A and B are shown apart, each in its own frame.
Chain A
């Protein structure tokens, strides 16, 4: 993994909390109760956030077993650090950062990883343009109408898995967290210690590369 381990966000002052549409207590209310020793309130926070944290851990580690351990470690760590949480950042963002750090530490124990993304050579496919900046015909075949028909195809699923696996790790993680798991750019940036423009850039380039791969798949005759 190629992300730098990041410090937890600085916390200064409390801003008002938006009421939840489902009428349940907001995160901040639950955090305040949990800080006073209310284990049931902490359990509600866990139940509320465990799915997204699981997806983050799974995407970063690539392993179900590691994701499980990251989740345990992250929630326990969050509970122990709860007295330090003052509410400047959203609780979910704070939690993502804790989980991301836990995932990184686990990865580093397994293999040595570079500390920065910047030096990584990048070879991602993308559309082809003429010298004047117009799309080449090979980049504009419309397979989108056939996509729905073949949505359930096992071959398509395999092609997608292969294409995503071939993305550079840092691009793959951002893509999965955003377009598959539905995290916001802000939460991804917080968790992975990236700037929002960096998240957007990696996301776009990953989509372009995947679009090329899917174009190749749809251009092949169905087997």
Chain B
């Protein structure tokens, strides 16, 4: 038996886990049922998601290339056989993508 969500506060409390997809299915269903009846909470969800998106866009930083070079030089002097990378721009997963699981 799924416990219903009657109040917005409970909806807001569960939002973090809901948008990351980690909320148990019965609670997610209860939250969606509440959203279907509560325009203020729909607005709240939209602005909560937009907050993440805007902050990510404004604050994302990648490692400066000069720092990669200096780190590589530092380690090459101290680790036997350490090879400086020819192309240090070969990207690991970048931070300039959107936050996942939104």
A-side interface residues toward B, CB under 8 Å? 37-40, 42-43, 46-52, 54-55, 58, 64, 67-68, 71-72, 75-76, 79, 127, 129, 132-135, 137, 139-144, 147, 151, 156-157, 160-161, 164, 175-176, 178-182, 200, 203-204, 207-208, 210-211, 214-215
What are the residues of chain B within 8 A of A71 when measuring CB–CB? 67, 71
Query: With A135-B40, A135-B41, A204-B16 in contact, do A54 and B67 touch (Cβ < 8 Å)?
Result: yes
The answer to whether B85 and A203 touch across the interface, beta carbons within 8 angstroms, is no
Residue in chain B with minimal CB distance to A182: B95
Total residues of chain B contacting the partner, CB 8 A:
59
Specify which chain A residues have a CB less than 8 angstroms from the CB of B10 in the assembled complex. 133
Residue of chain B at shortest CB distance from A181:
B95
> Quick one: given A43-B84, A43-B85, A161-B58, are A50 and B71 in contact (CB under 8 Å)?
yes
A52 touches B8 (CB 8 A): no
Q: A68-B71, A204-B15 are in contact. List 4 more A-B contacts (CB 8 A).
A: A135-B9, A135-B41, A204-B13, A214-B54
Residues of B within 8 A of A (CB): 6-10, 12-13, 15-17, 39-41, 43-44, 46-64, 67-68, 70-72, 74-75, 78-85, 88, 90-95, 97, 99-100
A143 touches B55 (CB 8 A): no
| Bound CA–CA A67/B74 (angstroms) | 14
Complex-state Cα separation, A144 to B57, whole angstroms:
14
Question: Which chain A residues border B84 with CB–CB below 8 Å?
Answer: 43
Chain A, residue nearest B74 (CB) = A72
- Contact call B99/A182, Cβ cutoff below 8 A: yes
Is A176 a contact partner of B59 (Cβ separation < 8 A)?
A: yes
B residues less than 8 Å from A49 (CB atoms)? 92
A50 touches B8 (CB 8 A): no
Q: Is the pair A156, B81 in contact by a Cβ cutoff of 8 Å?
A: no
